[in-house]
């Protein structure tokens, strides 16, 4: 068997027929995600503008990693959150989605490095169970501020977010002057948006 002739033919077939189908399917799925998220934002009581990735207002955002793409960008009104990015991530296993809530900050003026901070939910069992406490690990200044916000903790432990699997990580882009609040993709309920906005408020006031 002459593999030297078969391999180029297989690559040509993949390029001409298979890849366009995969890309078209991803584009359709992403468009559906953006539409659904837009509708859910409105249901959550969030008024917003939808903007393009080339909008001058977001040129400060650093280039995304390979395989990541901003499918939808929203500018919520009357919120401490400045932008919401709906992002897709391609891998050999398919396409996954997550959200980044962008908060404009002044950390580039702070001396020293601002560390990433993550939310940890402590439960009454190693195998799940009821949430017992919410702890923040990472930057000591921000973690302390968030730990002392008992209203925020109450919403997570006793409110509508009690059984929500919110995976949250705060990533300061210190040189660019903004911070990313990264979460898994989930419906933007009024409680979730209020929670994220409270975290954004702590970030905006500096620490």
Host domain of residue 30 = 3-204
Q: Which residues pair with 134 in a beta bridge?
A: 121
What is the C-alpha end-to-end distance of the chain, expressed in Å?
A: 67
In DSSP notation, 101-148 reads: EEEE--GGGSSSPPPPEEEEEEEEETTEEEEEEEEEESSHHHHHHHHT
CA distance linking residue 156 with residue 133, whole number of Å: 9
Q: What is the pLDDT of residue 16?
A: 57
Q: What is the pLDDT of residue 149?
A: 92
Q: Which of the pair, 129 or 68, is modelled with greater confidence?
A: 68
Q: Among 1-10, 25-34, 119-128, whose mean pLDDT is lowest?
A: 1-10
Separation CA 172–CA 142 (nearest Å): 11
> Judging by DSSP bridges, how do beta strands 178-184 and 128-137 pair with one another?
unpaired
Residue located via tokens 């919120």: 79
Q: For position 19, what pLDDT does the model report?
A: 42
Task: Read off the pLDDT of residues 69-126 as tens digits, 9 standing for 90 and up.
Answer: 889 999 999 999 999 999 998 877 778 999 999 999 876 666 778 899 999 888 777 6
Tell me the two tokens of residue 163. 């059984």
Quote the CA–CA distance of 66 and 69 in Å, as a whole number.
8
Residue keyed to tokens 């903004």 = 178
Contact 123, 201 (CB under 8 A): no
Strand ranges (DSSP E) for the chain?
Answer: 48-51, 68-76, 83-91, 94-104, 117-125, 128-137, 168-173, 178-184
Place of tokens 């709906």: 86
Distance, in Å, from the CA atom of 10 to the CA atom of 156, rounded to the nearest integer, reads 53
Count of structural domains, the chain: 1
């Amino acid at each position: 068997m002459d593999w030297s002739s078969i391999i180029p033919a297989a690559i040509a077939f993949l390029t001409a027929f298979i890849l366009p189908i995969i890309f078209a399917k991803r584009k359709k799925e992403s468009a559906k995600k953006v539409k659904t998220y837009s509708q859910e934002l409105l249901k959550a009581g969030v008024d917003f503008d939808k903007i393009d990735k080339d909008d001058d207002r977001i040129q400060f955002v650093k280039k995304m990693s390979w395989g990541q793409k901003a499918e939808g960008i929203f500018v919520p009104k009357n919120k401490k959150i400045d932008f919401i990015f709906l992002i897709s991530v391609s891998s050999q296993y398919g396409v996954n989605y997550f959200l980044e809530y962008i908060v404009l900050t002044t950390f580039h003026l702070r001396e020293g490095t601002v560390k990433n901070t993550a939310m940890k939910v402590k439960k009454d069992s190693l195998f799940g169970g009821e949430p017992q406490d919410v702890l923040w690990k990472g930057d000591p200044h921000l973690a302390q501020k968030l730990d002392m916000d008992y209203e925020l903790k109450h919403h997570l432990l006793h409110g509508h977010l009690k059984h929500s699997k919110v995976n949250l990580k705060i990533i300061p882009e210190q040189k660019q002057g903004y911070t990313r609040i990264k979460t898994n993709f989930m419906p933007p309920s009024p409680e979730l948006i209020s929670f994220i906005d409270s975290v954004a408020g702590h970030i905006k006031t500096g620490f």
